[in-house]
Structure 1
């Protein structure tokens, strides 16, 4: 037996180690392992472009407006934002941050493709779309008290879970008691990432978009397989301890463990605030005008209708949480 390591360390190696899921081949997209809002179609990026314009104007239209796309994956969001030709385009320096060298090779022209966020300070917007759910977290398990999960690797490669002594002191986000086997993520790294990202902004904002819950206690009362998930090939994967490096490991983000944002709303509310309805109506009008002899542009406009339905869907992408911190 090896020395057990905290679940957080196991997850870090499984996703980002030398043989990790993201180090090797894991990616978003219809031919990848999971779908995010940018992969639904270009409408999401067009709305984000509107948000960038609003922030650029709020900052007084600076000559250099830096946009950091953190966890950019293959660059799908970047393509959509650039294609939307926002008003801030001439001032915009778009930085696509992605740890995977393989995915950086797929980034579009017109962006700075890097492995880590620039040091700053800069004026602009940092966007983290479905990034925090993939940052390694500690795992708390209730067994006659809250304990931390550790992972032990046997000689044959099987991984088993072991529990620490009862937490002392108890993390404040956890209730004093719970049902046997209840679990909760402790997202210290996500909270530290938010703090670090904000420190790099001279002026501007950090926008975090992810599936999550307002309070940690919501997760402790749900079946843990509902929020501690794995994915591969656009399907749910195996138990999180099996075949590390071959599947994504992710959690619903408990937003009460992050620094308090200036605003938090659902993705549906955010997209409506930034004009998704106007973009869909524009698409409907152009399609109607060109339906007799539709070209490629008309087909793109028509797709906005179905894309908006997916992006705003209650119980799905529409219920994602969008938090914003301003500098």
Structure 2
């Protein structure tokens, strides 16, 4: 039993079963035993790998996208360049290196990293030596002003609630204790009004046992309100689905393999697929505009990843060219199990921003099932 599991069991014994959202929050962010608090989870020795760690091309293209967005904002003399959940700092380092093509952008950018993990903050400081970024625990701590925000694989790790369709309506799923004291999933016997409200956005049928998920965090609303009031744009890149739907997507990753989410709390990464339609509705309700989502593959191709790969392959040996091609295929491949298809890109922006770089005017968000 992990120390965190022992604590969670004690909490449940004292207070009763807890919502899935609270369980996720404890597993990932407990101040002493939380998964992200205690380790660098990335790379071969960790539990998963993200796009910036696969190839420099990913961060470089997002850096050039940020330059184009800044120019579309009127090239303000000062703005906030913000990354939510910046991992090892690789994406931001690659983005800033590519952005050196426009020196005025770097001079205007004030870099902010929203990160709660002490271990990852240390890695970010190493990757961004000489940049002197500012760190924050929450988006709301970033000073006011126009901003360009990047959130790559951030929203999938935020706590979700789950509701299960029963005979009497939608019941919230909770984590409780089994007969032997082990952690088990169960249902609140009372129907949930929140579940009923959320289900209105999901096409029928809502069959018995169907699972409905809801992102608990207020980050999306805060981001939309900030962009609407203070200007700027944000890119959200994550795996998920374009239209709101049903399904249990809560998963745990440990040593690059799927694990039981209730096993070894605090020792595995917990994530859930992002509902991009729900995310867009939230930011639009806060006053911002939304474009997309596009597949990651389409977006990177539009930004020029094929041409960048060809440029990197010049004056390299066969092994290096093969590695660059493999990275290109992994990031932008269109197979159903490849990142280029699984991951989506949603752009959020000030309503006066106009059509964001990489998107078409006809790609303003609309409910996919409308």
Q: Is the 8 A contact 2:21 2:216 kept in 1?
A: no
Name stretches of at least 5 consecutive residues in structure 2 with no aligned partner. Answer: 1-12, 282-289, 351-370
C-alpha distance in 1, partners of 2:324/2:113? 25
Which one of the candidate residues 55, 58, 62 is aligned to 1:48?
62
Q: Is the 8 A contact 2:158 2:216 kept in 1?
A: no
Aligned pair 1:200/2:226, yes or no? Answer: yes
C-alpha distance in 2, partners of 1:111/1:86? 20
The TM-score normalised by the length of structure 1 is: 0.86
C-alpha distance in 2, partners of 1:77/1:167? 40
> Secondary structure of the residue that 2:328 maps to in structure 1?
helix
Give 1:41 deviation, angstroms: 1.4
Which one of the candidate residues 114, 117, 135 is aligned to 1:97?
114
Identify which range, 85-94 or 55-64, moves more after superposition.
85-94
The answer for the alignment partner of 1:158 in structure 2 is 182
C-alpha distance in 2, partners of 1:304/1:65? 33
The TM-score normalised by the length of structure 2 is: 0.77
Give 1:67 deviation, angstroms: 1.1
C-alpha distance in 2, partners of 1:303/1:177? 45
The answer for the alignment partner of 2:193 in structure 1 is 168
> Secondary structure of the residue that 1:14 maps to in structure 2?
helix
Count of residues paired in the alignment: 309
CA offsets per residue over residues 202-249 of structure 1, 9 Å max, x none?
2210111010112232x43xxx3xx32111122212x21222111111
Where do 1:1-327 residues align within 5 Å? 1-2=13-14, 3-18=16-31, 19-25=33-39, 27-84=41-98, 85-87=100-102, 88-107=105-124, 108=127, 109=129, 110-116=131-137, 117=139, 118-144=141-167, 145-153=169-177, 158-164=182-188, 165-168=190-193, 170=196, 171=198, 172-174=200-202, 177-189=205-217, 192-201=218-227, 202-217=230-245, 219-220=246-247, 224=248, 227-237=249-259, 239-260=260-281, 261-284=290-313, 286-287=314-315, 291=317, 299=320, 303-314=323-334, 315=336, 316-319=338-341, 320-327=343-350
C-alpha distance in 2, partners of 1:254/1:158? 31
- Going from structure 1 to structure 2, the CA distance change for 1:323 and 1:22 (only over 3 Å counts) comes to same
Name stretches of at least 5 consecutive residues in structure 1 with no aligned partner. Answer: none
CA offsets per residue over residues 178-218 of structure 1, 9 Å max, x none?
344322211132xx21121233342210111010112232x
